[in-house]
Amino acid sequence: MQRRSFLRHAAVGGAATTALAAPAIVGAQPAVRWRCTSGFPKSLDTIYGAAEFVAKRVSEITTGKFQISVHAAGELVPMPQAADAVAQGTFECSHTAAFYYVGKDPTWAFGSTIPFGLNFRQFNAWWLHGGGEAAFNEFLKPQGMFNIIAGNTGAQMGGWFRKEINGPDDMKGLKFRIPGLGGRIMERIGAVPQQIPGGDIYPALEKGTIDAAEWVGPYDDEKLGFNKVAKFYYYPGFWEGGASLGFLVNQKAYDALPKDYQAALTAAAHEANAWMMAKYDAQNPAALRRLVAAGAQLRAFPRPVMEAAYKGAQEVYKELSATNPQFKRLYDQYLTFQREQVGWFRVTENTFDDFMANVKRQA
């Protein structure tokens, strides 16, 4: 009896010791404060909100020990300088679209999307299981950074135009706000690409400084009021068939984190990757209906425009591959993966989607 009593009390005591020790271990973890500059304005609760989502989840996972303050585009540094600021350690991370930095090197585009590239699901497959993450971060490594996927817009709209587009000739001389390699492709069919931050697009369209602008899709475009200054709303945004957003992270700052903080950051970013896409999918249909009801003229890009752009894209990729070994390395891998994905999606996903689109249109 005495032995059983001793064992029972020892077990209770051991459990109590464990219960007391756990909070002490958590409490021993350091308090860490990071700053994150977003590539987007605060008014956009989904694309900007994804960074806030990550910050909130990281804080929750680490019981408040790891805090990330999120700052709107331009608050800490002008958006085009964010990547350099992260590389230099001015602040620890930036939530942005990697293709904003193709002016530094066109290889940056593979961290987000290229014209006529992978859709959301295909990009995730390439990034997580097709070698994309390793290949892109190998490119970033000499710059002292790496990228964690943390959001996606899905296939974007083609944008707002002040005049109707009936064919490739209507693109000639058109001053079009469009970032990344999409701008180079538009140049091939005669448009004049303009690099303008999101917050400056509306006044540029209103004043006629530009003739057209793309942003993301109905939910964000409605918030920014583009339908008030340009009535023709084109689709699809073939230069952004699945634009991935990510956290550019300073490698030294990341290496200084406790391992569980590193895991918390990655887990929160990956959760945001699903959260952002789901929110856009939930919000875009109703937003599109409201825009059309308010007078937006919904138009599909004429096929000759898309074919001319596709031809231009292949020319650009060939030229870049011939002169930029880093671009060629990622492009060859990306293209091989895309061929497999497009073939697979054609078998069942596309067939199912086409059928459902037809039956729901008749319902």
Give the single-character DSSP code of 257: S
C-alpha 152, offset from chain centre? 4
Beta strands in 132-179 (DSSP E): 145-152, 159-161, 175-177
- Longest distance between any two alpha carbons in the chain, whole Å: 96
C-alpha 341, offset from chain centre? 20
Q: At residue 333, does pLDDT exceed 50?
A: yes
**Alpha carbon distance 156, 290 (integer Å):** 17
3-state secondary structure of 291: helix
Instruction: Give pTM, 2 decimals.
Output: 0.91
More confident of the two residues 195 and 288: 288
CA dihedral 164, 165, 169, 174 (to 10 degrees): 70
Torsions phi, psi for 249 (to 5 deg): -120, 135
Beta strands in 180-331 (DSSP E): 192-194, 212-213, 232-235, 244-250, 297-300
Torsions phi, psi for 248 (to 5 deg): -80, 125
Mean pLDDT, range 20-35, rounded to an integer: 71
Burial class (CB in 10 A: 0-12, 13-18, 19+), 3: exposed
Number of neighbours of residue 147 by Cβ within 10 angstroms:
25
What mean pLDDT is reported for the chain? 93
3-state secondary structure of 193: strand
Residue linked to tokens 């231009």: 312
Summarised one tens digit per residue, pLDDT across range 129-160 is 999 999 999 999 999 999 999 999 999 999 99
**Alpha carbon distance 52, 36 (integer Å):** 10
Q: At residue 14, does pLDDT exceed 50?
A: no
Q: At residue 24, does pLDDT exceed 50?
A: no
C-alpha 75, offset from chain centre? 20
pLDDT in the model for residue 363:
75
pLDDT in the model for residue 10:
42
Work out the pLDDT band at 180, boundaries 50, 70, 90: confident
Work out the pLDDT band at 27, boundaries 50, 70, 90: low
